[in-house]
A and B are shown apart, each in its own frame.
Chain A
Amino acid sequence: MSTMSEEARAWVTKQVIAFIVVLGISTFLALSVNMLRSDSLPWVYERKTLKAGDMFPFVPVHAPKDPMSRNYLGLPSDKELVTIADVEADLLVLEILNVYCFSCQGQALALNDIYKLIEMRPHLKGRIKILGVAFRNTREQVKEFKKEYGILFPVMPDPEGKVEALIGPGIHIPFSLYIRRNASGSMGLIIGTHEGPVEDRQVLFDGLVTLLMKEPGSVNFDELFKRKGESQADSEEWPKTNIF
């Protein structure tokens, strides 16, 4: 009897050790591979403001209805819900704005000129894309805005203000996120953010080309969108709109 219970005990011990080994191997593999990724943990945040190095949340949203916007962004035609991963671009400028915000209107006009410049250049067309998100604006308001200002790049309405939950608290609009692909090819790596308008077209264009061509992390982001000869104080003097 005592031999049997010793055997049984040994068997159970062996199974427990096997379980620990399985868990250990899985955890080791998970952590090792994670270290090789450029966008390692964390991916889900608790009310944190997004910044360079973060992955843009993979929250599904309804794809734009008009075919031109869908084609421009490279979104699959058969998908109703899309995430950032579905956007076909090497560099995406995601601009958070409100159509009634004065600074946002200036920024949209600047981005519109940049959009035209990019579309005229074969080596940039299809690589740098611009997408606006109109915080707390309806579809009709966005339509009127685009018509009035001649905005050509897609602007998605966000009447319920859901983008705030994605970007995080304490943001002033216009707010720009510059998004590229990570090392494994997934679209969504934030390489920089910028609060406030950049209306100098030359600075904006040069900045975007730099972000496209250079490796993430090798660019001094603070200097990138500053006007030549502009001090830090000058660049902060714009009417801040804190709708968030």
Chain B
Amino acid sequence: MGADQSSELMEWLWRLLRVVLGGILIYASVEKIIHPEQFAYAILNYKFFPAESVNLLALVVPWLEFTVGIFLIAGIFEWVSVTVYNGLMVVFMALIAISLARGLNISCGCFSLDPNAEKINLLTFFRDSIMLLLGLCAYPLLFHLKPPPSVKKKQQ
């Protein structure tokens, strides 16, 4: 496969990955944007953040997910969008891990605010790790397609 064909394939892979990552974030954000009051209680259940910050987090985090999701799909600020995506995944995974270690029997609140939704377990952690892995796969593609200046110089 020539260099052009390889680049074209990577472009397509990158477009597909952007849509997948952006779609995950937008899907996760919609219910939380509509019902921030319920999301606030989902955050409170983690017993991690002080009550004063819970309300602000419940307000801003869903919109951050939505905005980054749109930017990913549209291909805007790609490096930052991917990094914020991965940062969010790391934070969510850390919260799940801490809650599992503390024996909290709570719902994730990641994609559904229904209290009857499945409680967090190792599968939840595994699911989020898959999503993080997808996000990390973006970096090799970005390094190839839109490399930072120091990398570009080396390639030249």
- Check if B79 is an interface residue, CB within 8 A of chain A: yes
The secondary-structure label for the interface of chain B is: helix
- Check if B84 is an interface residue, CB within 8 A of chain A: yes
A42 and B63: CB pair below 8 A?
A: no
A46 and B60: CB pair below 8 A?
A: no
Name B51's contact: one of A7, A22, A45, A59 (CB within 8 Å). Answer: A45
**From residue B129, how far is it (CB to closest CB) to chain A in Å?**
24
Task: Give B20-50 interface residues, CB cut-off 8 Å to A.
Answer: 33-38, 40-41, 44
What is the bound-complex CA distance between A7 and B58, given in angstroms?
A: 38
Task: Give B51-94 interface residues, CB cut-off 8 Å to A.
Answer: 51-52, 54-56, 58-60, 62-64, 66-68, 71, 77, 79-81, 83-84
- Check if B116 is an interface residue, CB within 8 A of chain A: yes
Q: List 11 A-B contacts (CB under 8 A).
A: A11-B149, A18-B80, A22-B68, A26-B64, A26-B67, A31-B59, A41-B55, A44-B55, A46-B52, A184-B35, A186-B38
B79 and A15: CB pair below 8 A?
A: yes
A85 and B59: CB pair below 8 A?
A: no
Q: B64 to chain A: which residues have CB within 8 Å?
A: 22-23, 26
Q: A31 to chain B: which residues have CB within 8 Å?
A: 59
B41 and A57: CB pair below 8 A?
A: yes
What is the bound-complex CA distance between A8 and B56, given in angstroms?
A: 35
Name B59's contact: one of A8, A30, A80, A186 (CB within 8 Å). Answer: A30
Which residues of B are interface residues toward A (Cβ below 8 A)?
33-38, 40-41, 44, 51-52, 54-56, 58-60, 62-64, 66-68, 71, 77, 79-81, 83-84, 114-116, 148-150, 153
What is the bound-complex CA distance between A31 and B59, given in angstroms?
A: 8
What is the bound-complex CA distance between A18 and B77, given in angstroms?
A: 6
**From residue B45, how far is it (CB to closest CB) to chain A in Å?**
9
Name A8's contact: one of B35, B37, B150 (CB within 8 Å). Answer: B150
A19 and B84: CB pair below 8 A?
A: yes
A83 and B115: CB pair below 8 A?
A: yes
Q: A8 to chain B: which residues have CB within 8 Å?
A: 148-150
- Check if A102 is an interface residue, CB within 8 A of chain B: no
Most buried by A among B55, B116, B148: B116
Q: A4 to chain B: which residues have CB within 8 Å?
A: 149-150, 153
Q: B60 to chain A: which residues have CB within 8 Å?
A: 26-27, 30
